[in-house]
Structures are given as structure tokens and as C-alpha cells.
A and B are shown apart, each in its own frame.
Chain A
């Protein structure tokens, strides 16, 4: 398909299946497939190894033996392990994660409902974290050892040390209760909830699709506080990493070259140095984004945010194995795709990584 024939130096020809543009695409798909297969294998094994009996969870512990055996057979648990795995994979590929015992819905429908909530929160939080964290880190680096550097360090350290549930409660107390600047828990005010048809599941997008600005601003006012609190944590991390990458780049020779050319300090920092800082920083940002996409249980509990973290935790506490495994597969898939995205960005930012 994409086999490219290349002449070697010794005159012999060799065929590279994975070279050229289409080849590199094929290579990515191939490695994705393998990673995903590994992910499924691990989640499947965890599900079988855990000392939770899915049959018991479904029928209850007072069911007669005959009912227990019948349900066990219906679930396919009497088959050999490899056969079960095969069935599991083909189900997952069709988007079938089984039924949730707790909500009585197909797990995939539950995930379609909760994942957008987490996606929305994590995305807004990451945007805030990047927009504030990078300038803070640059600011600290160019004032190394002076008071702006110390201020950024103290704010960052505070962000790392304060427990999130405390920060969340204090945020609600101050900005919702006392000052009334933002809306309280949930994604929308209670009397708005039935007004909105979940097209994408992202509240900010759905309200805009329906052209309802009142609802949109209501959603903004609900998301801004939990997103800022999550952003505080990623901000602290991003700022610290930006600072150290920046200091490293500013001591490079090409910075001296730019100074010799008479370029302004502003341009040296934001164009020359930051262009190089962004390369390793993309990985840092992607990792912190992926962490947020896993769903932050504590934040979701405090802000009654119906997200993935809350869903997985509830399912786990109720021995709802299908839901837990489904959620785990989604989290794994999110990590794989964020990693791939950061790979693509890495190549865009660093010409040396392009092939």
C-alpha cells in the first residue's frame, strides 16, 4: 500500500513498509491498535481477578442456586477465559460495555452522559492553567531570584499544598455564598436543566447551538469556579516547568546571537526562547490535561458535577464491574489519544522531530 522502494548505498534495494507519508500514518494506527489491545487485556484481567462476583452483584445474595447458575451462563462466565476475552473485545469494538447494575442503563450511554461533563471541565481548567501558567513561569524566569520569582513560587507552592476539597469549599463559601459572583454546584441552575437538549453533552457548546445566551452565561457561571480550582493545580505545575525550561533556553548560544542582532528583549523571550520552551512544555501540558480528563473525584463531589470521576467511584463502591471497566477503558483511551495529540504538536513545534 505504502511500500516505498529505496536504493541502499550498496546498490541493493530494500522495501520499507512504513516509510513515506501514508506509511507513517500506518505506523501510528498500528501502534495505536497494539496499545489499545494491551489496555483491553489489562482491564479484562483486572475485572476477572478482582474478588467481586458480577453474578452475585446482579442477582443479589439471596437468589437460589438455579437462578445464580442461569445468570452466570447468560453472562458467559462459564466459558474459557480466552473465549470470554474474545467476546469482550468484539463487544467493546461495537461500543458495548454491558449493562450497568446501578443505573440499569447500557454503560456506554452512561459514559456518553458523564464524559462530556468531565471533558468540558478539564478543557476549561487546562486553558486557564496554560494562559496564566506560561506567562507566570516566563515572568519568574526573567526575574530569577527577585521578588516576582518568589511571588510566583509561593503562589505555586500554595497551589500544590492546599487540599482541593478545602479549596473547593472555601471557593463556594466566598464566591458563591458571600460574594454571589458565581453560581453554585451543578452544571446549570436547577430550573434550566430541562430546557437543554444534549447534542454534544458540552453545556457551553449546546447552549450556544440553541442560541440561548442566558443559558450559556448560566453555564459559564457554574463552570468557572470548579475549573479555576482545578486550573490552580495545573497552573502551579505548568508555571514551575515553564520557569526551568525558560532558564535553560535563555542560557543558550542562539539567545546571544539574537542579542547581537539587536533584537528587542521582548522578542528574544517570547519568540526565540519560548519557541524552544514550547517543545518540552507540550508534553507537560498534555500530561496535566490527561490527568484532569480522568475526572477529579473530589472536585466533582463538591461541585455536584456529574462527571467521569464521580461515575467510576460510585460504580466501584457498588461493585458495578461493567461500569468500572467501561470507565477504565475510556480513561485509558483518553490517555492514548492525548499522548498522540502531544506527539503531533511536538512535531509541529520542533522541526528536528519531523521526518
Chain B
């Protein structure tokens, strides 16, 4: 792991104006990212997904992003024009979405969608692009890449769809991948398979990864470092190998949620929340 900083975020805030008032989804998140794999863990509504979207400038129209600093290499993400953003998205930072059932266009073939991602950033002819796309489908371990290339998203399974998604987002060779709950919509049996494919590719290509999930164990087994978020705040930052050293009661609570093979089965532990955790 080199120590050069790829992405630097300081005091990121994302707020939404809703008819019921302002919602502070992310409240002052800061981190630096090198060529490493960072996990962001938290429950629904903790702001982990919004952090990921803010990095790509894709916060919904009623949301506002403010930050003291948001830098990708030397690029100040806060000042990019839409045209400059298009050169960053896909080509340098990309994101793997949650559920292939909804995140792939239902009326375009899988091949067309992958080729589109590649040709947006690389000037090649149609034949070369097709060749690349089929290679990429092979790289995500799809057995009949030609057939899948010509299929529509509804014709493939969830696990296959998510591999297509990985192929599509990795084909322009970005430096940073944000994976937003990439396996949560999948069957348990294929979750690890898909995660292993993603992990291999990210390692081989030397990409940085931000892995967003609610599953602390899964995150810690694929990441170097873990940020634990609660109510828009980072409550704890840990090395993935040192989860047992967690100090914050929320992190400890999450770890305690796992059933143990030995030990007392009579009661499921309940996470007792304290109001003070949500105070920045």
C-alpha cells in the first residue's frame, strides 16, 4: 500500500431540504484515502450511502454538499463543472450500485451498456469495444460471455447481473471504485462469490475501494480500514484486523449482534443507543 493520498475529504456535510424541514444526512465526515480498501459501515440512514454519492457529486437535486475540502488528486471536486464531472465519473471514480434488477437499463442489451461505459472514455471503434466488453465479461467469470453480451438484464440472474455491473464499472479502468452495498440484494450463497470477484479485480488493477455496507464482518474481511458511521457522524475508525479493539459502544454493539456458536443462546443482545452518540 502506497501512502500517496488519492482522495481527501474534510468535514463533508450533506443536507436535504424536505417539506418537513432540513435533514442532515452527513454531518462532518473526514477521511483520507490512499490506494487502499476502506470500509464504511453503518445502519440504514447513517449517511454511508450519501457519503459515497457526494464523492461522485450525485446527491439528489434537493440536497446540498458542503465540505472544507474534497480533493481527488489535485482536483477540487467541489468546483467541477458538469463537463469536468463527466471526465471524472466512470473514467476515474466509479460506483457499483446495489441491485442489478433496478440499476441496469431494462431495454438495452448488456453488451450495449458495457460498451457505452467504455467508449464514453476511450476512443475505439465498435469492433474493438465489443472485444473489450467480452473480455471484461470473462474477467468477471461469466462462462458464456457472448450470450450474456447479447442478453437483456431481465434474462440473467441477480448474481450474474451484479457481475455485469462490476464489469461495466471497471471497464474504463477507474482509480477509485465505490461499492454501495454491492451484495445486499443477492442470495447469501452468491454474495461471497461476487465479493471475491470484485476483490480480485480491484487488487489486480491496483484500484482503491470504498466498500459501503451494513455488514461489519463482511467489510472487515475485504478492507484494510473501517469507518463506523452513526447518524451522519463517523463514530470510530479502526483497522480491519483490530475489530476486537473497538472502543465505541455502538461498534461493540454491532459486533455483539452476531450469534455465537458457543455461549448463551437464550437472549439476543439489544443495542442500547445513547443520545450522546449522535452529538458531534
Instruction: List A residues at the B interface (Cβ < 8 Å).
Output: 252-254, 256-265, 271-272, 275-276, 279, 349-352
Q: What B residues does A265 contact at CB under 8 A?
A: 82
Q: Which of B90, B99, B102, B105 contacts A276 (CB 8 A)?
A: B105
Residues in B104-143 with C-beta less than 8 Å from chain A: 104-108, 116-117, 120-121
Mask, B159-171, CB within 8 Å of A = 1, is 0000001001100
A selection of 7 A-B contacts at a CB cut-off of 8 Å is A261-B116, A262-B85, A262-B89, A262-B120, A276-B106, A276-B107, A351-B107
Distance in Å: Cβ of B84 to nearest Cβ of chain A = 11
Of all chain A residues, the one with the shortest Cβ separation from B97 is: A257
Distance in Å: Cβ of A275 to nearest Cβ of chain B = 5
Whether A275 contacts B107 in the complex (CB less than 8 A), given A260-B90, A261-B168, comes out as yes
Distance in Å: Cβ of B231 to nearest Cβ of chain A = 24
Distance in Å: Cβ of A146 to nearest Cβ of chain B = 12
Of all chain B residues, the one with the shortest Cβ separation from A265 is: B82
Q: Which of B99, B107, B169 contacts A260 (CB 8 A)?
A: B169
CB of B58 within 8 Å of the partner chain? yes
Q: What A residues does B90 contact at CB under 8 A?
A: 260-263
Distance in Å: Cβ of A35 to nearest Cβ of chain B = 29
Q: Which of A257, A261, A275, A279 contacts B120 (CB 8 A)?
A: A261
Q: Which of A260, A262, A351 contacts B106 (CB 8 A)?
A: A351
Q: What A residues does B85 contact at CB under 8 A?
A: 262
Whether A352 contacts B120 in the complex (CB less than 8 A), given A262-B88, A262-B89, comes out as no
Mask, B9-29, CB within 8 Å of A = 1, is 000000000000000000000
Of all chain B residues, the one with the shortest Cβ separation from A354 is: B152
Q: What A residues does B169 contact at CB under 8 A?
A: 260-261
Of all chain A residues, the one with the shortest Cβ separation from B53 is: A256
Q: What B residues does A264 contact at CB under 8 A?
A: 86
Q: What A residues does B165 contact at CB under 8 A?
A: 257
Having A259-B58, A276-B106, one finds 19 other A-B pairs with CB under 8 Å, namely A253-B99, A254-B104, A256-B103, A257-B165, A260-B97, A260-B169, A261-B90, A261-B116, A261-B172, A262-B86, A262-B87, A262-B90, A262-B172, A263-B86, A271-B108, A275-B107, A279-B107, A350-B106, A352-B154
| Complex alpha-carbon distance, A295 and B152, angstroms | 41
Of all chain A residues, the one with the shortest Cβ separation from B104 is: A254
CB of B223 within 8 Å of the partner chain? no
Instruction: List B residues at the A interface (Cβ < 8 Å).
Output: 56, 58, 82, 85-91, 94-95, 97-99, 102-108, 116-117, 120-121, 152, 154-155, 165, 168-169, 172
Whether A258 contacts B95 in the complex (CB less than 8 A), given A263-B120, A352-B154, comes out as no
| Complex alpha-carbon distance, A149 and B106, angstroms | 28
A263 x B116 contact (CB < 8 A): yes
A260 x B152 contact (CB < 8 A): no
B58 x A254 contact (CB < 8 A): no
Which of A252, A254, A259: most chain B CB closer than 10 A?
A254
| Complex alpha-carbon distance, A260 and B165, angstroms | 12
Of all chain B residues, the one with the shortest Cβ separation from A278 is: B107
Q: What B residues does A275 contact at CB under 8 A?
A: 105, 107-108
| Minimum-distance CB pairs A-B, first 5 | A262-B90, A262-B89, A253-B102, A351-B152, A261-B90
Q: Which of B87, B98, B106, B168 contacts A352 (CB 8 A)?
A: B106
A256 x B97 contact (CB < 8 A): yes
A260 x B120 contact (CB < 8 A): no
Q: What B residues does A349 contact at CB under 8 A?
A: 107
Whether A260 contacts B154 in the complex (CB less than 8 A), given A252-B102, A272-B108, A275-B108, comes out as no
